[in-house]
Amino acid sequence: MSPLFRELLSNASFAFLALFPILNPPAMAPIFLALTEAVPDRQRNRLALLISLYTFVLLSVLLVAGGWMLKLLGISIPVIAIAGGLLVFHSAWLMLNKNPRVTVSEQEEIRTSMIDKAFFPLTMPVTAGPGAIAVTLSLVPRGSVRETETLLQFLAVAAGIAAVALTVFVFYRFSGAFIRRIGKTGAAAVGQISAFVLLAIGVQIVWMGTRELLLTLR
């Protein structure tokens, strides 16, 4: 395996591992199932596909356009990495303490006119919320887009986003059978493990951003 391919695989894996816990499909699948319990299975399956597709498109657009947006605002990527890492840490802490992501009133609102709400709010912010947006911006590759290596890094991160969007579809599509198989206790255990991994990733992202800022002081 060449060093370049190994690095690209590492970037794709890191993007997947950074986004999977914060999207947290295993923990969100029961919520999705509860929100769509009044609709036919065929419509629920279509919703799962749409949410997965919208998640990929939303995060990919942020990945591509996020760097230029930050430059226009005068915000450096290391600063975004620190802010995103802190937000991820906060989200993971809330998850570890079992705070619900969606309130009861929001659930009632979402239950009406499902297909019309596939993007908002079922994709954003229920599935891909501020934490996922912050993480995606922190994953924007450094360097000029004119360089082949930078373009390959963009593709690697996009592959990681595609992989995590696919897991959203799988868990949402088969949420009923999955939850019945592992039970509520199993789903809660998966959610807590994901939250702990997310906590560690939040610290890692903060450290990466801090290290880059410190290097600019030299």
Domain layout of the chain by residue ranges: 3-215
Tens of pLDDT, residues 62-95? 998 887 777 777 777 677 778 777 876 776 787 6
d(CA 170, CA 49): 9
Q: Is the pTM of this model over 0.95?
A: no
Instruction: Tell me the C-alpha to C-alpha distance, in Å, between residue 114 and each of 39, 40, 119, 120, 128.
Output: 8, 11, 10, 10, 17
What pLDDT shows up at residue 191?
A: 65
Least confident of 7-21, 45-59, 74-88, 107-121: 107-121
Among 8-22, 54-68, 145-159, 178-192, which is the least confidently predicted range? Answer: 178-192
The answer on pLDDT for 111 being more than 60 is: no
pLDDT at residue 21, as a whole number: 81
